[in-house]
Chains A and B, each alone.
Chain A
Amino acid sequence: MTRTRAISGGAIVALLAVAVALPYIGATSYVISLVSTILIAGMLASSLNFLIGDAGMASLGHGAIAAASAYGAGWASKQGLDPGTQVLIALGITLVVSFMYGILSMRTSGIYFLMVTLALGMVVYGLAFRWSQVTGGENGISGIKRPEFIGEWWTFYYFLVGAFVLTTALLAVVSRSPFGASLRGIRDSETRMRSLGYSVPAYRLGAFMISGTVAGFAGLLSVWLTHFVSPSTAGVHKSVLLIVMVILGGVGTVFGPLIGAAVVVLVENVLSNEVERWPTVLGLIFILVILFARAGIVGSFNKLIGRLKRRATSTPSPPAEAELVTPSGAPVSERNHTA
């Protein structure tokens, strides 16, 4: 118990220390912008990870929620509204869109949920593409400004690190709460939870609102990073990549989404400098992880540590593994089939 906690606590402190020290140990603003991209993608993937891992709802339209929020901020910026109003509009749109998603999908599950969220994502994409008076159509909106107090690249970077830590902690807390436990109950047996008197759709809607809000926040941050938004951010491609990130990292793990996001972003932006067929490489990595590390990179790593430890101490303590991997207590392997 203490050892696993020591490992995870040490890892968190080390990660945080590296993240904070990065600008001081000679990382150029290019490296920082890459790390920022990873943090934002990780935040988005975390929001989806919460939905898939705890509620068993694999959304194929999550990228579009972030895009809607980004468009809100972009539109407000184009109208010359101040940053405070920008944030309000972005969050307002996020809430409305998440609510629409949640209301329309709360009575579905499995493949139907996938289809509903896919369709809603396409609606957002279609609006971004066609409603050109507001969204700029294919050209998108460029020149979006971020608030002055995070105007410098390094202040924005620290803001991002803080935001990432906060949202990750928030999602972990929600996941450990009774609410999270109820969600996992619904995921594992909807009928049982209903017969126990739980309102399943209400829980689903709640889970979606929480996840959607985090996704919208990530969308707002991404527009502050790139100063730009275009319909491709709302495309299916984006949402599929998010699911890839979650599965690569490990469904239901706290840091899996970050690791998955790092792999995808680095392949897309760094490996593509060297390798022309980088999409193939990404596909290969995905297939290898699915074949040999079903629990994802972080999930499998944790499993391995757990197995080594058990062999070393030979005192069986099964909950330890689950405690490290998933805040909830559900074994990793069980969580995976929901993806």
Chain B
Amino acid sequence: MMSKKMSPRGRWSAIVGLGAAAALALTACAPPGASPSGDDANEDTSTLKVGYISPITGNFAIAGQEMVDGWNLYWEVNGDEVNGVTVETVVEDDAGNPEVSLTKAKKLVELDEVDVVVGPLLANTALAVAAYTSSVGVPNLHPVAAADDLTQRSANDFTVRTGSMSASQMHFPGGVWAGDEGYKTAVTLCPDYAFGWESCAGFKQGFEQNGGEVTAQYWYPNGTSDFSTYVSQIRAAGADIAFVTTAGGAPGPDFLKSFMGLGLGDTQDLLMNCCSLDQATLRALGDDVLGFHSVSNWAEGRDSDVVREFNDAYGAKFDGKIPSLNVAGGYMTASLVAKVLEQHGYVSGDDLVAAISSLTVEDSILGAVSFDKYHNPIAPVYIREVQEIDGKLYNVPIKTFDAVDQWLGKTPEEVLAHESYSQSFQG
């Protein structure tokens, strides 16, 4: 009985053993596809295949969709064929998750064989994707991502920031402006993660290099919707000016409602950032925010033909809305790609990044833009004021800082030598 039961089991273990042995034998030699195929980007030079990664679902869906809209808008307005090269775009959703972002980047590079990856949006996803694309020799353009390290500690010849700035760079002129205006003390409130640490560090250094002193710094966790305690703290701090940043979305209007609700609207001077006073906030709060100030590399109310054309084209497509920084970033990136194609025809690999970085654009929607050798833009930063023009609210620049670089008045070596910004290290 026993031996009869044992024999089938023995047979199966024999088969499993054989299978394992065969497996071992197979694994001993490399599979056919193992030799590094390298960057065998399609030889077809009549098409520039673009993989576009953006969070179209999840918490950052609105910003992600805007970033895609800006890119598409450029090609719709100007045609997707430049100098005999057709631009073909594959859009992928990463839901704001770094691992999905990375898998999508792999899919785009290996399956779709794209020539260039554009995006994604969030800092952590951007750093993850940039590390991968540079390792396989595919250029990576960043329309919106603001992580300092993208063009600092992790800078490489395959990664270029095309539509945004590093977070500290974008907010540094805010501090300079506040110092120039004669404010002596400031209190800051920034979100408690890398973007907030970097943006507050930028403001603080600009302010303190110009005779000001930051007396208190407060940090709020992502997802805060009730800002009344922070507004009370700002009131208690009693500084000459309050500097408040958000990464877009609901926090901007939420903060401002608390701020005005507690009566600080008329008594406390305030400087916000790009995304706290973007068009979504202006639409939500209307005339209440007239005269409010913010600092950004994008100003939809700038008196310039290219900006007006861009605004009109976007408005025509999206029932009269005015574009935000995310749209501008996508559009700007497309315009830079188009310029390169115009000058050089089809380019790929680090040549594409080098070609973009060597561009000097005098009249882009972001103003006069050139690039440093870390592939980060040197571009204007605007101090903006909310004004009403023809019945619509715009952020109109009241002061322009031209050719702002990412080094905050220091040398690149000094900046790269110190640690990344955090709550406890603000430069």
Looking at B103-111, B174-182, B291-299, B404-412, the stretch in contact with chain A turns out to be B103-111
A82 at the interface (CB under 8 A from B): no
B43 at the interface (CB under 8 A from A): no
Looking at A106-114, A133-141, A244-252, the stretch in contact with chain B turns out to be A133-141
Judge whether B33 and A140 touch: CB under 8 Å. no
Judge whether A269 and B194 touch: CB under 8 Å. no
Looking at A87-95, A203-211, A272-280, A292-300, the stretch in contact with chain B turns out to be A272-280
**CB-nearest residue of chain A to B148:** A139
Residues in A with CB closer than 8 Å to B391 are none
Tell me the minimal C-beta distance from A15 to chain B in angstroms.
10
Choice from B20, B154, B193 contacting A143 with Cβ under 8 Å:
B154
Judge whether A233 and B99 touch: CB under 8 Å. yes
B76 at the interface (CB under 8 A from A): no
A239 at the interface (CB under 8 A from B): no
Choice from B128, B149, B195 contacting A230 with Cβ under 8 Å:
B128
Judge whether A232 and B23 touch: CB under 8 Å. no
Judge whether B57 and A2 touch: CB under 8 Å. no
Judge whether A24 and B131 touch: CB under 8 Å. no
Judge whether A226 and B422 touch: CB under 8 Å. no
Choice from A138, A227, A272 contacting B132 with Cβ under 8 Å:
A227
Judge whether A23 and B23 touch: CB under 8 Å. no
**CB-nearest residue of chain A to B149:** A139
Residues in B with CB closer than 8 Å to A28 are 33, 110-111
Looking at B8-16, B367-375, B393-401, the stretch in contact with chain A turns out to be B8-16
Judge whether B127 and A140 touch: CB under 8 Å. yes
A228 at the interface (CB under 8 A from B): yes
Choice from A5, A23, A133, A137 contacting B33 with Cβ under 8 Å:
A23
Judge whether A33 and B103 touch: CB under 8 Å. yes
> What is the bound-complex CA distance between A276 and B147, given in angstroms?
27
Choice from A153, A230, A272, A273 contacting B98 with Cβ under 8 Å:
A230
With known contacts A17-B19, A133-B419, A138–B57 Cβ distance under 8 A: no
With known contacts A23-B34, A158-B27, A30–B93 Cβ distance under 8 A: no
Choice from B5, B100, B110 contacting A269 with Cβ under 8 Å:
B100
B192 at the interface (CB under 8 A from A): yes
Judge whether B106 and A33 touch: CB under 8 Å. yes
Residues in B with CB closer than 8 Å to A30 are 106-107, 109-111
B385 at the interface (CB under 8 A from A): no
Residues in A with CB closer than 8 Å to B16 are 9, 12-13
> Can you list, as one digit per residue, whether each of B9-48 has a CB less than 8 Å from chain A (1) or not (0)?
1001001100110110011001111100000000000000
> What is the bound-complex CA distance between A274 and B424, given in angstroms?
44
> What is the bound-complex CA distance between A232 and B100, given in angstroms?
11
Judge whether B19 and A139 touch: CB under 8 Å. no
**CB-nearest residue of chain A to B27:** A158
Tell me the minimal C-beta distance from A269 to chain B in angstroms.
5
Choice from B93, B102, B106, B423 contacting A272 with Cβ under 8 Å:
B93
> What is the bound-complex CA distance between A30 and B37, given in angstroms?
13
Tell me the minimal C-beta distance from A27 to chain B in angstroms.
8
Choice from B15, B32, B193 contacting A138 with Cβ under 8 Å:
B193
Residues in B with CB closer than 8 Å to A152 are 30, 34
- 18 A-B residue pairs with Cβ-Cβ distance under 8 Å, sorted by A, are A2-B8, A30-B109, A30-B110, A33-B103, A33-B110, A37-B103, A142-B130, A142-B154, A154-B30, A226-B128, A228-B102, A228-B132, A230-B128, A233-B98, A233-B99, A269-B100, A269-B103, A272-B93
Q: 15 other contacts beyond A29-B110, A30-B109, with CB at 8 A cut-off?
A: A13-B15, A16-B20, A17-B19, A20-B26, A21-B26, A24-B31, A30-B110, A132-B422, A139-B123, A139-B127, A139-B420, A140-B127, A228-B127, A228-B128, A269-B104
